[in-house]
Amino acid sequence: MAVWLSEEQVLISSEVIKSSGVQFGTSGARGLVEQFTTDTCAAFTHAFLSGLQDRFSFRQVAVAIDNRPSSPMMAKSVVGAIKQLGMEVLYYGVIPTPALAYSAMQDGIPCIMVTGSHIPFDRNGLKFYRPDGEISKADEQAILTANVQFASILELPELNMCSSAAEKYANRYTSLFNDDMLSDKRIGIYEHSSAGRDIYSTLFESLGAEVISLERSDEFVPIDTEAVSDADKAKAKIWSVEHKLDFIFSTDGDGDRPLVADENGDWLRGDILGLLCAQEMRIEALAIPVSCNTIIEKSKTFKAVSKTKIGSPYVIAEFDILSEKYTRIAGFEANGGFLLGADIEVNGKALKGLPTRDAVLPALMLLSAAKNITIANLVSDLPQRFSHSDRIQNFATEKSLAILAHGIDAPETLIKSLGFDESVVDVDITDGLRMTLTSGVIVHLRPSGNAPELRCYAEADTMQQASDIVLSVLDKVKNLDIVLW
């Protein structure tokens, strides 16, 4: 039913979004909490849903949140906008992003996740899913530029929660394995403020594991699975010994990026976890971001490995190309999030494709691969090439871009400014600036798409060398005088 608005009541979605300062990053719209006003959340919601109505038929929209203190209020704004359109809302409360996406895809409806993933609690974001999966970069631009008219929400609705999405998500994985698969395992769940912390223990226990809950937090903890803190590295070592653990499982804030540790309490790099998962699943073709370890593309396990820009939309876009030749396709990112690009069979049972980052699948497939061997040995049996990453927080994006521009024009000058006494033999600007040196060392600089941060990735022949390179490069970057260039 059309609602007629007086001229002073009309808001235009593109104008509200532009004035808010919120933009899309590598995954979702991100910004400071104060930028996500009721009008901003409503503008994004109206713009997103209006762009779907010519392509899909739906009368319901699913919504969920992470554990950030700002998320419930943002969800109310999103739900209010959906109700303005006369649509029914399925509100699932705090659940992982992949749980929301999977449930919505099975129901053939769009969904919106209120989450800032791993970024600090003073920021938040929105992730959008069409009925057929995660939105594309073209969809993002359409949302930003849509001129949808709507009215301010004068009274925020109450949120009435249902639980079916969490149940569907857990059953998706427990149905693949015998209920005693983990009967000899002691698994620690580093719960912190993860959106999936109320699901994981039951899921692992249903497969026979003894589960120990670790460090649940009532305050939001911004876990970055690509830049594990020294404190978390030390905790995992202590927990592993103290509780005699075979495995530690955790995720980032919205549960789409895994963080797993072996029997020794050593956290695995996300791309190594993805590699082991893909091997166990007998994946034929992979799409992975350029930041992933080079042993993956050199592996003889896969028939094809495509390298993309960083961000799940780019990985997903590559699935369309790979699916022309291959049936078992997947992708993963250096942060560990695993994307299943097609329906396949696992253990003789059907597993529906889920083309969005997921944390549970790679963890379970790693445990499946480690039935007769330790996880540490699985990792050590791989070619010994190591990658590491970290970031400078609160680093102006303008300065990051200036450093990259200088490096693209004069890579030799930049690499010497960063302390290396060797030449650059290859420059890759697929995403950021990725320089391969004469020694085989790789140094990759990239501004974050979600926050004012500069990330450095390094690849070398030892973990210590890769770690030292990242530490040294980031330290020198802070003191680069870009004004003189």
How many other β-carbons are positioned within 10 Å of the β-carbon of residue 483?
A: 6
| Structure tokens that stand for 294 in this block | 């080079």
Residues in the chain: 485
pLDDT score of 450: 62
Domain 175-380 classification at class level: alpha beta
User: Are both 10-163 and 175-380 of the same fold?
Assistant: yes
CATH architecture for the domain at 386-484? 2-Layer Sandwich (3.30)
Give 31-79 pLDDT, tens digit per residue.
999 999 999 999 999 999 999 999 999 999 999 999 999 999 999 999 9
- Residue of 182, 169, 193, 334 lying closest to 247 (CA atoms): 182
pLDDT score of 225: 87
What does the alpha-carbon distance between residue 128 and residue 46 come to, in Å, rounded to a whole number? 12
Burial class (CB in 10 A: 0-12, 13-18, 19+), 112: buried
pLDDT score of 2: 42
- Residue of 35, 1, 6, 33 lying closest to 18 (CA atoms): 35
pLDDT score of 299: 84
* Residues lower than pLDDT 70 in the chain: 1-8, 449-450, 482-485
- Domain ranges, ordered by start, for the chain: 10-163, 175-380, 386-484
Enter the pTM of the model. 0.90
> Residue 136: CB partners within 8 Å, gap ≥ 6?
313, 316, 317
Residue type, 441: V
Residues forming the active site: 117
pLDDT score of 380: 92
Give 154-201 pLDDT, tens digit per residue.
999 999 999 899 999 999 999 999 999 999 999 999 999 999 999 999
pLDDT score of 482: 61
CATH architecture for the domain at 10-163? 3-Layer(aba) Sandwich (3.40)
pLDDT score of 119: 82
